[in-house]
Each structure stands twice: as structure tokens, then as C-alpha cells.
Structure 1
Amino acid sequence: MAVLVAGAPAWAHHSFVAAYDTRQPVELRGTINKVLLQNPHSWFYIDVKDADGKVEEWAFEAGTPSGMIRNGYKPGIIKSGAEVTIKGFRAKDASQKRGMLRELIMADGTVYGLFGPK
């Protein structure tokens, strides 16, 4: 019983359904401004122009560095200034400019499934 109780916080931490709405896919084109490869989850920050041309920063949560490498990512390959398209799911709180990353598509068409299978 103690193991189940002790495991609950870790399970809750990894419950992406609590933070992201898988019924609200998002696809954005923008420019990478920062990549943070860190545990437990990495982050990709992109600058996206809104309908009025104003730049907004979006943050996309990805997998662990080791999981991303298993999916074909090589550290340092995506640099600040790179033009990308990101596909994922929005945060449940639509006022937040963040999401869960599913695919990152480079300008040359290279696709990285950074948070699991494509």
C-alpha cells in the first residue's frame, strides 16, 4: 500500500491529460528562440507571429533528452533561429501560449517525433 501512495505524485506529474487537451490540436510555424534539454522534460520555445504581426512566444513541452534521442533527435541539431512547424496539443488553459509537442518539422522537411511515436 505504501508503494501505491508513494507512486501517486510521480504518476500525477506525468499526467499530460491534466495539462493538455488532446482534442485541441495546434500547428504553428515560427522561429526557435530557445531549446532546453533537461529532465524530466525538455522544452522548445518558438516565436510565432499572430494575425496582427505581433510576435508571441510559445513553449512546447517535449520528452526527456534520452527519449528524444531514441526518436531520432540529436542534441544541438535544432538551433535558435531555425524556422520550424510544430504540431502538438494546446494547454487546457487556452490563455497560456504552451502545448505538448508531438512533431517538430524543420524547413527542409525533416520531422522529429519528440514526444513519442509520430
Structure 2
Amino acid sequence: MKNLKRACVAALCAVPLLVGVKASAHHAFGAEFDPNRPLVLRGPVVRIEWTNPHAWFHIEHTNDDGTTTVWMVEAGTPNTLLRRGIHRNSVPIGTEVVVDGYQSKDLSMRANGRNMTFANGQTMFMGSSGTGAPRDGADPTEGSTAEEQKKLEAAKETDSAKEKE
């Protein structure tokens, strides 16, 4: 009976430790990325990792000297992106994009993405600033749901139609 009680106490003590490891695995923006190092990356998407805790878009950026470097750009969680109407096939491999975001503190070829802009001018909020990246106010849909985005787009179309009158 005494051994059973000890085993139960040990198990109860171990559970919070295991949960703590899982909870601490997710990082804040400031732990990895530098808000004072904004960057712009241009090039084709060469790979997409649709995994938790963040989706990653790999962009082949052309440097000033003509060489190319593949950057890993962190987006929001797959669930966050899905709620915004973005799924793993929304950005086909080879799509030319412009990404603005923030470089990693360790100066590796990793960045936290804010927006991805396509050749047609459409911009996709990458869903990652909720982790602490500075908000620039440029995207009124930042943090909104796909439904709220559709309402904003409809309002823009209405405003545009009124301007043409």
C-alpha cells in the first residue's frame, strides 16, 4: 500500500513536468526574431512544410550579387492559416512571391513572415505576427478570420465602385 501511494505521488509530480516541456516548446517572436531587422525576400517558393507549431515557406531569394539563397520563412500555425482560408496547396511550388518579415536573431537564413505578395498584387497575411512581431498597421486583416477578410474585401469593392461613379 505504501509503495502504491509513492508511485501515485511520483506520477502526479511527473505529469506537470512532461506538460511543461510541451508547453515551453513553442516560442515567442522575440525569442528567435529581431524586430529591428525587417527584410524583404523575392523569389519562387521552392518548398512548403505544413507542420506544427508553424508552417514554413522556403523562398529562393536572389541576392544583390546574382547568387541565390533559400530562406526559411515562418508562417502561423497550419490551423491559423486554415481558418484564414489558406491551405497547403494555396501557394503552389514555383509561385513567385515577395515576402516581408523579420530576420532571425542568429542571422541564419530564417525569417518570420508578415505578408506574402503575389505577382497579381494580392497579399496574404502569413499569420505569424500573433507571436509578438510588431504590427505595422499596413494590413487591416491582421489577426482577422477568413470571413472578416471577405467582408473587408467586399467593403473595398464597394468603396472602389463608389469612387468610379
Which TM-score bucket, shorter chain as reference?
Answer: 0.7 to 0.9
Q: In the alignment, is the contact (CA less than 8 A) between 1:73 and 1:114 conserved in 2?
A: no
SS of match in other structure, 2:34 = strand
- 1:52 equivalent to 2:56? Answer no
Q: In the alignment, is the contact (CA less than 8 A) between 1:71 and 1:112 conserved in 2?
A: no
- Give 1 or 2: higher helix fraction: 2
User: Which whole-Å deviations, capped at 9, do the CAs of 1:28-53 have from their partners, x for residues lacking one?
Assistant: 11111011111111100010111111
| Alignment size in residue pairs | 116
Please report the TM-score for the alignment, with normalisation by the length of structure 2: 0.63
Q: What aligned pairs does 1:1-118 form with structure 2 within 5 A after superposition? A: 6-7=19-20, 10-11=23-24, 13-94=26-107, 96-116=108-128, 117=142
Structure having greater relative contact order (Cα 8 Å, sep ≥ 6):
1
Q: In the alignment, is the contact (CA less than 8 A) between 1:48 and 1:56 conserved in 2?
A: yes
Take 2:91 and 2:25, find their aligned partners in 1: how far apart are those partners?
30
SS of match in other structure, 2:117 = strand
- Give 1 or 2: higher strand fraction: 1
Cα RMSD of the aligned pairs, angstroms, is 2.1
Unaligned runs of 5+ residues in structure 1 are: none
Please report the TM-score for the alignment, with normalisation by the length of structure 1: 0.85
